[in-house]
Amino acid sequence: MTEHTLTVAGVAVDPRHWIGGERVASAGTFTDVSPIDGRALGEVARGTPAEAAAAVAAAKAAFPAWAATPRAERARILHAIADGVEKRLEELAIVETTDNGALLRSHRRGVMPRVAHNFRFFADWSLTLDHEDFETRGHTNHVSWDPAGPCVLITPWNAPLMLATWKIAPALAAGNTVVLKPAEWSPLTASLLADIAAEAGLPAGVLNVVQGYGSEIGDALTSHPDVRRISFTGSVPTARRIAASAAPHLTPLSLELGGKSPLLVFADADLDLAVDLAVEQYDNAGQVCLAATRILVEETVAEEFTRRFVAKAGALVQGDPREEATDIGPTIHPRQLEKIDGFVRRAVEAGARAVVGGHRRDERFYAPTLLTEVAQDSEIVQEEVFGPVLTLQTFADEDEAVRLADDTRFGLAATLVTGDRERADRVTGRLTAGTVWVNCFFVRDLKAPFGGSRHSGVGREGGTWSFDFYCDLKNTVTAPKGWNDHG
């Protein structure tokens, strides 16, 4: 414990930056507030361009040695980080719940185990990277994945540590160094991860964490000439600013952005399954980029679907995310709550009808909401709300279902519920989405490509696709002769 340490839910957290293997303070701070009760958790170092530059310099200095470290040794250290995550899983879970308001039971059972799995998976996958040599007119082609250099990773507040390590793990496994900029609304578990990585033996400067506001340090990170990769998860407007900042140096980008995903329910579907999947979209208070917020139901079963949905949604428990019985926790921040409320108010003024919810419960919670009688070109159908707000529309046939599903500027995911396998094959082939789930939702494998189409993103990560991004692929062509062999 030091004078800088915060105590969050009984866990000591250092709120300073982590740069070059040392804790670094800033002249200014910002207040981190828990969405559970609005209580200030403490003051966190508020980064400036100077700290951003120092972090990139530390990453650049550490890069040659880490890039030269054998893959197997890098993998060993990543497994040691995973061990540290598992050892401190309960601490990470309660700190993240306190910091961002997501369910403690989810952090314990799913999210933090996935954090450890991110490190283990990409550590092991890095050891399998191989492309069979091939010949061209007697010459041998050999493909290799070379570390790219310092990477800037900018992560969101809705699943802070899981989404950060989804980027950190492949970047480090590839031999790169990292500067992580966590979201200012949920920065604390990134600080704990820095401690865990150091204890696992990750060399100084390989992982750096700079906290603060994107408007103040974002450009210093994304425009830096020594940065070789930028990965960002967040909003489309911020992605545009990052892309413009990175453009002068042609720094490659991976962008996982917003979604307005459809859930298509056909008349031949198992309606109980369809309702379960639809209500599941309220997970994490609707603060999930992949959420299927546009429910599209075949008109012949729409009335029955709605009746069952209203009953099931009405049984959800909204409250303290630390309680086992809670299904939906608070919205992350008052500004986000106001944004959600604005979307719903404007939709109702335009003619939408709230058959579930449609209002704030208080200054922390927005009631799970289902809006009907919405126009396809309306704001509530076209724009991402990022809250517990769903819309319901009907369709007459398969063609109309696909037309409505694809009629937004996004293309992150889609969910399809049908009892007809041939229909599932037809419809999934016509949908524009990076991921399509059929009769299921949120089944994710790290071997699979993940990303969005259209305004939902640029690029794919997962499995070898992650290493394709975080590496410079090289093809070495060797002639069959010209050697001076001396036996």
Kindly list the averaged pLDDT for each block of 10 residues, start to end, along the chain of length 487.
81 97 96 96 97 98 98 98 98 98 96 97 96 94 97 96 97 98 97 98 98 95 98 95 97 95 98 98 95 97 98 96 97 96 97 96 95 97 97 98 97 97 96 97 94 94 96 95 73
pLDDT of residue 3: 66
Whether 222 and 315 map to the same domain: the answer is: no
Q: Residues 331, 218: one domain?
A: no
Q: What is the CATH number of the domain that holds 292?
A: 3.40.309.10
> What domain count does the chain have?
2
Residues 115, 203 within the same domain = yes
Residue 487, domain member (yes or no): no
- Per-residue b/e over 99-125, b at no fewer than 16 CB within 10 Å? bbbbbbbbbbeebbbbbbbbbbbbbeb
Same structural domain for residues 219 and 299?
A: no
Give the residue from 213, 344, 232 showing the smallest Cα distance to 289.
232
Residues 300 and 196 occupy one common structural domain: no
Q: What is the CATH number of the domain that holds 136?
A: 3.40.605.10
> Of 96, 289, 384, 471, which residue is the catalytic one?
289
* Dist. CA 426–CA 251, nearest whole Å: 38
Residue-range definition of the domain harbouring residue 471: 6-257+452-475
Which one is catalytic: 51, 91, 256, 384?
A: 256
- Annotated active-site residue 471? The verdict is no
Same domain, 196 and 268: no
Which residues are within 8 A (CB) of 466 and not within 5 positions of it... i.e. 6 or more apart?
Answer: 122, 125, 170, 174
Do 325 and 308 sit in the same domain of this protein?
A: yes
Residues 11 and 67 in one domain: yes
Residue 289 annotated to the active site: yes
User: In sequence order, which residues have a C-beta less than 8 Å from that of residue 118 and are 6 or more positions away?
Assistant: 162, 165, 166, 168, 169, 446
Residue pLDDT, tens place only, 195-208: 999 999 999 999 99
Say if residues 235 and 452 touch (Cβ distance below 8 Å): no
Both 59 and 95 in a single domain? yes
- 111 plus 190 within the same structural domain: yes
